[in-house]
Structure 1
Amino acid sequence: EISRKYPSLVTPSGWAFAIWGVIYVWEALSCAVLPDDGLRGFVAANAFQLVWALAFARDYVGLSFLLLCGITASLFLALAEQPADTSVLVAPLSLHAGWVTVASLLNLNLLLVKLRATTAAQVFAAFATIYLGLAAAVSYGALRNQL
């Protein structure tokens, strides 16, 4: 596993990845009741995610970081396409976007380990990951309530 190969200061426990089952089932159920329009961002996110899985499995950590950024941007586009109070896809997309935002930051930490960054750089990245993850969650919550 790539996470074991590049142990960073903020590697989550293995059980944390079980969230993917919840995300995919919830999104699939939501898509089953949605019309086909307004899903461009969602389709793009899934295309990025497919390529990300291949890149990450082949140890292309830098490319996988860029693809995670593409997934994140696509999911936020998908959220912008959904009516805030009427779409059944908002909640699972929000969970997916939040998790991928954190995954992007975690992947950056793996990249620093792979590139043999200094301990100081890795410590800075670990703290930045925690703070940026929290800031993103608070900002998204505040923005979503204003839309």
Structure 2
Amino acid sequence: MQTRHPFRWLNVIGLVAVVAVNALANLLPINGLTTGELSAKYPVLVTPAGYAFSIWSLIYALLAGFVIYQARSRSIERPTVQRIGPWFILSCAFNIGWILVWHYEYVYASVAVMLALLLSLIALYVKTHTSTDRPTVGESLLVRLPFSIYLGWISVATIVNISVAIYKSGWDGFGLSDVAWTVIVLALGTILAFVIGGMYTDPYYVLVFVWAYIAIAYKQQSHGSVATAALIAAGLLLAYAIALWIRKFKQVKD
């Protein structure tokens, strides 16, 4: 007898809605500005170069694989799928909500919605990455990997979103320069990637930060200290991701 999985079709609908709203946000665009044009209005030094946002194509492709996998009758009894519960559909609602408040330039509200999205993804990540059973190949590629990449990018996006809100507020940063604060923020993000990556032996989460930091260095070439700090952090994180891959390989062999 199959265990009931009431959210599987809602998850499919939720992802379709997310992709549609994100596409319309730039095609219409919502409130007359694309997502990128809005970002350009707030020149915070921690914002990555535009090409970095192409990671959304990978995220949506992985999430498409996830919703197909979790909707299959053969998958619904898997403990990892059962633990997802309502969290994915909630993450979809927060993703759509963020697009709307951001495009209407409710910057402070966008931080609150982004934090809600982050928390929903943390719940998904923990539920899909903590299991006493060894994951199948399907679970590794279609459940764990999508949320590693998604959470990694939203972790970076949350840092950027908070930085934008601080910029808009006009806070003087206790007298420290924008460059100094950006270096501090990059260091905090690096620590976060080390902690999460180490706790869950997850090189993919770490690699998202590598991708973002290289893009930050590329965009901020005119700010030498920021570019250098971002490249150093990216190098450290890349080495750490390789070490995590080695650890993961040894765990699989054991």
Question: TM-score, normalising length from structure 2?
Answer: 0.53
The answer to whether 1:22 aligns with 2:58 is yes
Of 26, 29, 42, the match for 2:88: 42
What amino acid does structure 1 have at the position aligned with 2:201? N
For the pair 1:109 / 2:154, whether they are aligned, the reply is: no
Q: Which ranges in structure 2 are unaligned for 5 or more consecutive residues? A: 1-36, 71-75, 203-254
Matched, 1:7 2:43: yes
Greater Rg over alpha carbons, structure? 2
Matched positions, count = 146
Asked if structure 1 preserves the Cα contact closer than 8 Å seen for 2:129 and 2:200, the reply is no
User: Cα RMSD over matched residues?
Assistant: 2.0
Give the Cα separation in 1 of the matches to 2:180 and 2:87. 32
CA-CA distance at 1:9 after TM superposition: 1.5
How big is each residue's C-alpha offset from its partner over 1:34-79, in whole Å with a ceiling of 9 and x where there is no partner?
A: 2363332222211111100101111111111111111111111001
1:36-75 to structure 2, matched below 5 A, reads 37-39=82-84, 40-75=86-121
Q: Distance in 2 between matches of 1:83 and 1:2?
A: 35
For residue 80 of structure 1, what is the amino acid of its counterpart? V
Runs of 4+ in 1 over 3 A off after TM superposition: 121-125
TM-score with structure 1 length normalisation?
0.88
The Cα offsets for residues 89-137 of structure 1, whole Å up to 9 and x where unpaired, read as 1111011101101110111111122112226264454223211211111
Percent of aligned pairs sharing the same letter: 27
Unmatched 5+ stretches in structure 1: none
State yes or no: 1:136 paired with 2:182.
no
Cα pair distance change 1:112/1:44, threshold 3 Å: same
8 Å Cα contact 2:42-2:164 kept in structure 1 = yes
Greater RCO, CA 8 A, separation 6+: 1
- One of 151, 154, 159 as aligned partner of 1:97: 151
Cα drift, residue 32 of structure 1: 0.5
